[in-house]
């Protein structure tokens, strides 16, 4: 019952949304690109997509500058 | 130099195309690197004009102040190699249609400034053009710390990434590091087009 967030093993929590997961693992950056098992999750769906057990999650935070 | 290898590479690059979203610090320097490398077609998108404050890091010149960046860059590329096809679009990328100018190019380079626009752009490309490789950057500010920059690959998204850098709103932007990451992006685009250099 665990998931992997940016290579780090984290407990899986039933019915947890992406938004809740990001908060739990203290990813406080407001702007992130999230992939679950290689699928991109649009930001607008962060509060309704539930994180499945055993999933691999990649979070990349974007900061200004270019 | 291995002439055979070089000739093969030249042909491949000449037939390749790269689209660059934003022709500021990252995009102007990446465009020049790609032009010099011999990419045959470049698609440039930007809405801005050259400002005197851009000259500390962006590939423009004093006599180009006030010109549209896409036009100034087209001219700078022409001065390096007039045979390169440059498509210049003076427009602001709008949510929902950000991916339109990049439909028929080989690699997209994200070279935008605002974090929110960067995020939206990457998301739009990944969702609407899932087969398209996109090179993006986060963490260009400051100076030094070259070895904190890494390439992070997630499927077709290639990030030039410094997870410790802070936002440009709170830090300085300086030519060496901006150019380093711009060229890192260009180098990744070349690697995607040619395959790994073995």
Residue B75, domain CATH: 3.40.50.720
pLDDT tier for residue B167 given thresholds of 50, 70 and 90: confident
| CATH number for A11 | 3.10.20.30
Residues from chain A contacting residue B166 (CB–CB below 8 Å): 63
Residue B140 phi/psi, 5-degree rounding, is -85, -10
**In chain B, how many domains are there?**
1
Q: Specify the pLDDT at position B3.
A: 86
Compute the average pLDDT of residues A26-54: 89
Residues from chain A contacting residue B168 (CB–CB below 8 Å): 63-66
* B121 domain-assigned: yes
What is the nearest CA distance from B10 to chain A, expressed in angstroms? 29
* B3 domain-assigned: no
Answer whether A40 sits within 8 Å of B112, measured CB to CB.
no
pLDDT > 90 fraction of chain B, expressed in percent and rounded: 87
Give the H or E element holding residue A37: none
**In chain A, how many domains are there?**
1
* A8 domain-assigned: yes
* B5 domain-assigned: no
Answer whether B123 sits within 8 Å of A66, measured CB to CB.
no
Give the nearest chain B residue to A34 (CA atoms): B123
* A13 domain-assigned: yes
Domain that holds residue A49: 2-61
List, for residues B127-156, the tens digit of each pLDDT value: 999 999 999 999 999 999 999 999 999 889
List, for residues B120-129, the tens digit of each pLDDT value: 999 999 999 9
Q: DSSP secondary structure string, B74-134?
A: HHHHHHH-TTSEEEEEE----TTSTTGGGTTSSEEEE--SSHHHHHHHHHHHHHHSTTS-E
Examine the pLDDT at A30 and tell me if it is beyond 80. Answer: no
* A10 domain-assigned: yes
Answer whether B123 sits within 8 Å of A60, measured CB to CB.
no
Give the nearest chain A residue to B58 (CA atoms): A66
Examine the pLDDT at A63 and tell me if it is beyond 80. Answer: yes
According to DSSP, residue B59 is labeled: S
* B2 domain-assigned: no
Q: Which one of B118, B122, B141, B158 would you mutate to disrupt binding with A, by most A Cβ within 10 Å of its Cβ? A: B118
Domain that holds residue B81: 11-194
User: Which has more confidence, B188 or B153?
Assistant: B188
* B73 domain-assigned: yes
Lowest-confidence range among A26-30, B111-115, B147-151? A26-30
Answer whether B138 sits within 8 Å of A62, measured CB to CB.
yes
Residues from chain B contacting residue A6 (CB–CB below 8 Å): none
Residues from chain A contacting residue B95 (CB–CB below 8 Å): none
Lowest-confidence range among A13-17, B1-5, B21-25, B101-105? B1-5
pLDDT tier for residue A66 given thresholds of 50, 70 and 90: confident
* B135 domain-assigned: yes
pLDDT > 90 fraction of chain A, expressed in percent and rounded: 62
* A66 domain-assigned: no
Query: Is residue B99 within 8 Å of residue B124, measured between CB atoms?
Result: yes
3-state SS track over B26-50: HHHHHHHHHHHHCCCEEEEEECCEC
């Amino acid at each position: 019952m665990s998931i992997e967030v940016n290579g780090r093993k984290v407990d899986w929590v039933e019915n947890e949304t992406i938004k809740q997961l990001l908060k739990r693992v203290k990813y406080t950056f407001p702007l992130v690109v999230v992939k679950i098992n290689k699928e991109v999750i649009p930001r607008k769906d962060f509060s309704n997509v539930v994180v499945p057990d055993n999933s691999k999650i990649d979070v990349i935070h974007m900061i200004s500058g270019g | 130099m291995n002439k055979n290898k070089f000739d093969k590479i030249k042909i491949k690059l000449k037939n390749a195309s790269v689209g660059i979203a934003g022709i500021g610090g990252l995009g102007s320097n990446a465009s020049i690197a790609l032009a010099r490398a011999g990419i045959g077609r470049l698609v440039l998108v930007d809405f801005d004009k050259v400002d005197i404050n851009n000259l500390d890091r962006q590939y423009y010149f004093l006599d180009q102040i006030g010109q549209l960046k896409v036009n100034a860059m087209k001219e700078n590329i022409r001065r390096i190699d007039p045979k390169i096809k440059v498509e210049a679009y003076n427009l602001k990328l709008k949510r929902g249609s950000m991916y339109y100018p990049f439909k028929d190019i080989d690699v997209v380079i994200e070279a935008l400034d605002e974090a929110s626009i960067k995020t939206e752009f990457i998301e739009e490309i990944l969702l609407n053009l899932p087969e398209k490789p996109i090179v993006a950057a986060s963490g260009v500010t400051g100076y030094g710390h070259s070895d904190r920059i890494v390439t992070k690959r997630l499927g077709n998204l290639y990030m030039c990434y410094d997870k410790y850098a802070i936002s440009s709103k709170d830090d300085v932007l300086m030519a060496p590091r901006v150019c380093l990451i711009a060229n890192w992006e260009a180098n990744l685009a070349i690697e995607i087009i040619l395959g790994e250099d073995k």
